[in-house]
Structure 1
Amino acid sequence: MRGTKESTSTLLQYSTARRLDVVSAFRTTMFRQSCSRWRSTLSLSCLPWISGFLLCTATLLSTEFRYTQGMQVTSNGPRTIQKAEGESVTLGCSYTASPLDTGELDIEWSVISPDTTQKDQMLMTYTSGTKYVYDNHPLANGLSFAAPDPSKGDASLSIAVLSPAHSATYQCKVKKAPGVDMHKVSLVVMVKLSVPKCWVEGGELVGEAVALHCHSARGSTPLTYTWRRESAGSIPAIATQDSVTGELKISNHSHSYAGIYLCEVNNVVGAEHCRINLKANKPPNRAAVIVGTIVGSLLLILILLVLIGLLYWKLSNRHHYEKEFSNEIREDVPPPESRPVSRYTSRSASQHPQVTYSQVGGTEVNSLSEGYTHTPLSNSFTPVKCSAFEYDSKYGYAV
């Protein structure tokens, strides 16, 4: 009995809980449906107002952005321009000022320095209706504004004659307070090709390797070389050519490969060419070459021996002559000058007036007699005959 009551109580509790869950689920479902209906109704009624609000906000923001942006510099051309040397170019720079830009117009063209630590180099300016070109800059020659009046919105730069030195990055800067904007463009000046030089490496001998070379000393890289044959057919199949170095190599030359060859070199600026006549020479006889080499060597050795013998003979004769010459006594050497007359001679002369004194090799002869007589003599040596001298016991013989 007691067990029956407990089971009945458990069933009642279970049924009550089940009933409460069903009611809660129903209420939740009804609440969700009512919220969904309210959202859809609110969205349909407020959508036009929200769209209009967003559109007005975007319009105001765009207008405000346009007015605050100020000066705008544009260019329709490419950012990198390639031109050939000697041509002209126009670097585009168009600008649009804002209504808020009420200051004075200032246009500047400058060259950007590749070194960030260095200042940019000014080329040309336009301020207060006045154009000014910085003549101290090497690139200033031939610069001008493309438009007659740069204040009308066109600040493009024109360069009359290009040179390799004009290769640089240019900047166009337009200022009109408070607006300011700039535009950069790179200019690359391509150097024209010089006429190439063609030559043959090797003896152009039949059966040997022959190489044709082509080189242009001036021109902007990359350079492309192309060989072709102008006479007697096309280039031999065994020939190989290098388009970078300009070499055409024939490994086994023959008479059929002889003819006129043309080399053409190209770059982005233009093309140049040169011609060369390739010959096929018969190789020389090796036996004759060997014999000629031996004979020439022997002749050279013989000539050297003859020269050495002549040199030795000449040196020997010179030594013998100098030895004989040093032993000879030359007869035409004049005798030494006479000594001055001593007091003994004077006394002897006073006692022997008949004694005559002669100067050897001189121009005068002094005679001591009753009087003194000066007689000129010739330059040649003449013996003087003197009388016998007497012996004086006190003074001896007279001198």
Structure 2
Amino acid sequence: MEPPLPLLAVSLVLLCSAGLTRSLSITSVGHSTFEKAQGEKVTLPCTFVLSEEDEGPLDIEWVLIPADNQKKEQIIIMYAVDRIYNHYYAAMTGRMQFTNPDPRSGDGSLDILNLKSADTGTYQCKVKKAPGVQSQKIQLTVLVKPARTKCSIEGSQEIGKDVILKCASQEGSPLLSYDWRRVSGTQELPATSMLNKNTGELLLKNASQDYSGTYNCVASNRVGTDECSVELNVTPPINTAGIIAGAIIGTLLGLCVLGFLIFCCCKKHREKKYEKEVHHDIREDVPPPKSRSSTARSYIGSNRSSLGSMSPSNMEGYTKTPYSQVPSEDFERTPGQNPTFAPSKYDIAHKIGDITVV
């Protein structure tokens, strides 16, 4: 049964109207995710086709959509009124540009140079030319290659012991995978080895001297690899009993020497203390020396005063005074020492004569 003529006419009109109202459209579809390594370059595509009805000014904006919905979109670069504006996003200043210097040609793709891990995010290209408006979102993931990978050995490298070879990268985006291989000898891992690719640990159980050699570890992720090597040397067990005995003897000798030094120090301290005490006692017991010159002067002065008061009547008695009455302390001296003042009988008599004459 054929459709009624009025319905067919309406359909033709709608089809014609749809063709006449065609506006701009983005043609770079199918490129919604990109994974790149840090330091590389990426081109985020955004090509479009304009319509004859799109008569307004052409505007192209690239914005970064934050993972947090509460934050606003950040404009990265923009083309408007035949001019490029690229100073909106300081984190990418000098590292971004339009692929085509003239986006009016229908290519508004964006180049990002020297990628960093912080560049990971969702980018949106918006093309506006009134009345047409179109946009496209692209997810960019910047991965860091494994770097600064280090190998190490854990456990005693003795026959019969379990040894663990460790491998770890200090840089690199997850998920990292580790793989060990032997690069010397049979170039095959021992039969008792157990590898954990996620942690990078290689367990060698019940090690023997045949396990000795060079082992290499390769760390990898989706964008790169890095590696390191380690040398394993399995040796016979060490004589621990002799080492322990030597350590004990050495400790005892050290304690003896230390005790002897402490004893010497204490003895020296006691001797110094005793000397100080004896010296202090002697200085306190000795009386201060007497002044002989002052004693002699006082004695002579007293004699002169007494002689001056003598008269002829009593001078005879004075001449008979024994010389021994002079105080003995004024004439005390050590053998061989000359006295500072020692009056003789002749001097006394002469003095007496002088007084008599007067």
CA distance in 1: counterparts of 2:258 and 2:12, whole angstroms:
108
Q: State the shift of 1:316 in Å.
A: 1.9
Aligned-partner SS, 1:216: strand
Structure 2 residue aligned with 1:110: 63
CA distance in 2: counterparts of 1:64 and 1:323, whole angstroms:
126
Q: State the shift of 1:65 in Å.
A: 4.2
Structure 2 residue aligned with 1:90: 43
Q: How does 1:180-329 map to 2 (within 5 A)?
A: 180-233=133-186, 234-327=188-281, 329=283
Aligned-partner SS, 2:17: helix
Check the 8 A contact 2:165/2:203 in 1, yes or no.
yes
Give the share of equivalent positions with the same residue, in percent: 37
CA distance in 2: counterparts of 1:286 and 1:161, whole angstroms:
57
CA distance in 2: counterparts of 1:242 and 1:235, whole angstroms:
13
Q: State the shift of 1:95 in Å.
A: 2.0
Structure 1 residue aligned with 2:123: 170
Q: 1:324 to 1:61 in 2, by over 3 A?
A: farther
Larger radius of gyration: 1
CA distance in 2: counterparts of 1:163 and 1:321, whole angstroms:
80
Q: 1:83 to 1:62 in 2, by over 3 A?
A: farther
Aligned-partner SS, 2:147: coil
Structure 1 unaligned segments of length 5 or more: list them: 1-42, 336-347, 353-384, 389-399
Check the 8 A contact 2:193/2:203 in 1, yes or no.
yes
CA distance in 1: counterparts of 2:116 and 2:10, whole angstroms:
54
Check the 8 A contact 1:123/1:140 in 2, yes or no.
no
1:270-317 CA deviation, whole Å, 9 max, x = no partner?
A: 112111111012211233133223212322332332233233223323
CA distance in 1: counterparts of 2:226 and 2:220, whole angstroms:
7
Aligned-partner SS, 1:138: helix
1:222-254 CA deviation, whole Å, 9 max, x = no partner?
A: 111111111121111111111111111112111
Aligned-partner SS, 1:220: coil
Q: How many residues align?
A: 294
Check the 8 A contact 1:67/1:98 in 2, yes or no.
no
> 1 or 2 for the larger relative contact order (CA 8 Å, sep ≥6)?
2
Aligned-partner SS, 1:217: strand
CA distance in 1: counterparts of 2:341 and 2:12, whole angstroms:
155
Structure 2 residue aligned with 1:374: none
Q: 1:327 to 1:228 in 2, by over 3 A?
A: same
CA distance in 1: counterparts of 2:64 and 2:19, whole angstroms:
30
Structure 2 residue aligned with 1:157: 110
Q: State the shift of 1:262 in Å.
A: 1.0
TM-score of the pair, normalised by structure 1: 0.67
Check the 8 A contact 2:77/2:88 in 1, yes or no.
no
Letter in 2 for 1:300: G
CA distance in 2: counterparts of 1:89 and 1:259, whole angstroms:
43
Structure 2 unaligned segments of length 5 or more: list them: 290-300, 306-339, 344-358
Letter in 2 for 1:121: Q
CA distance in 1: counterparts of 2:130 and 2:275, whole angstroms:
107
Q: State the shift of 1:328 in Å.
A: 5.1
Check the 8 A contact 2:143/2:173 in 1, yes or no.
yes
Q: State the shift of 1:325 in Å.
A: 4.3
Check the 8 A contact 2:162/2:205 in 1, yes or no.
yes
Q: How does 1:50-65 map to 2 (within 5 A)?
A: 50=4, 54-65=7-18
CA distance in 2: counterparts of 1:310 and 1:135, whole angstroms:
81
Letter in 1 for 2:270: S
Q: State the shift of 1:69 in Å.
A: 6.6
